[in-house]
Structure 1
């Protein structure tokens, strides 16, 4: 009885955290197997960038998971994905999507592409954050590759992504907490970028 109650409380806590996470702007999770040229999306990501939440959990091609990217962003996003897949490391890309029957949204895809012992990129994993409201406020991100002089916030995000990957498949509430941390790091990075732009204009 006690064990069942504890399990119910854990499930409720996990549900509440995921609801809060979604309300905060984290709308999807992706994993990219570069060796097999396949991407796995959760239902949120599948609905936004592939156009059908029923594709969640299925191995998809890059073409399939970029179906809903805005026509004006398609070409450069494809180039960025190709370059990121060759280089590995940090993945940070901002673009618009046009999901079926919904308004255009701005997404920030934040993740990391891991390399094997030979330095070959093999597995990418990350999250999607809806930054539409931030965009309306004049904030923004840019696509970027690995930076050896990265800000501490960038390094913190990389460590969070590594921790999330280590917990993959565990269905642990810790994954949700890590996603919350990643979202907060993303907000701090947005404020940092905005401050840097203001200084550049002065």
Structure 2
């Protein structure tokens, strides 16, 4: 049975209605292995058709996974399991069915860590809505596991951590700066993936 759609007028502010059609909208998420729950900002919640209020405090991983496009789900879940078990990062693209019923493409830059016994501990990442880019380019979906630490990857990792801390501080001015930085890094990551695909095609 399909899940009921969220009330768009109630959960989607006017700013998001405009932002959801942009190339470079960026959101973030965190996963804790101990509870198997995911916390995310409102943008990621709406992309994955879950209640933003519940996503802010933590919701089951299965609720997010249900929004992954059926044709991409097995590939993405397999990649997530492998990277969580190995405690490493990856960059990939896939489709989700968003809160408005529309299929959207996301660029995911995610990282997992393990404890000293090698068991999955936590994960975090950022998502960039690249729907317009994918609609404009008839290219194949790339999967790029990241074993190393490129400068852009390190910057994204620190920006996510900084934004998380600033949210806890509840400082609106700093939050604006953190969001701006994360947005800029998202654009850089999306541009990097475009160049990588073009080199691969050539």
Q: Fold-level match, TM-score > 0.5?
A: yes
In structure 1, the residue matched to 2:191 is 191
Q: 1:195 to 1:65 in 2, by over 3 A?
A: closer
Larger radius of gyration: 1
Spell out, residue by residue over 1:129-155, the C-alpha distance to the aligned partner (whole angstroms, 9 max, x if none): 21101212327873443322x432223
In structure 2, the residue matched to 1:137 is 136
| SS of residue paired to 2:111 | strand
Q: Offset at 1:94?
A: 1.8
Q: Which runs of 5+ in 2 are unaligned?
A: 1-14
Question: 2:177 aligned with 1:177, yes or no?
Answer: yes
Distance 2:93 2:152 in 1: 18
Question: 2:89 aligned with 1:90, yes or no?
Answer: yes
Distance 2:169 2:115 in 1: 22
Instruction: Work out whether residues 92 and 144 of structure 2, in 8 Å CA contact, stay in contact via their aligned partners in 1.
Output: yes
In structure 1, the residue matched to 2:9 is none
Spell out, residue by residue over 1:101-137, the C-alpha distance to the aligned partner (whole angstroms, 9 max, x if none): 4321111233433445666542322332211012123
Q: Which runs of 5+ in 1 are unaligned?
A: 1-16
| SS of residue paired to 2:146 | coil
Q: Offset at 1:80?
A: 1.6
Distance 1:88 1:68 in 2: 24
Q: Offset at 1:164?
A: 3.0
Q: 1:97 to 1:76 in 2, by over 3 A?
A: same
Distance 1:78 1:38 in 2: 15
Query: How high is the TM-score relative to the length of structure 2?
Result: 0.71
**Residues 1-202 of structure 1 mapped to structure 2, 5 A cutoff:** 25-26=24-25, 28-116=27-115, 120-138=119-137, 142-148=142-148, 150-172=149-171, 173-202=173-202
Q: 1:68 to 1:20 in 2, by over 3 A?
A: closer
Q: Offset at 1:98?
A: 1.3
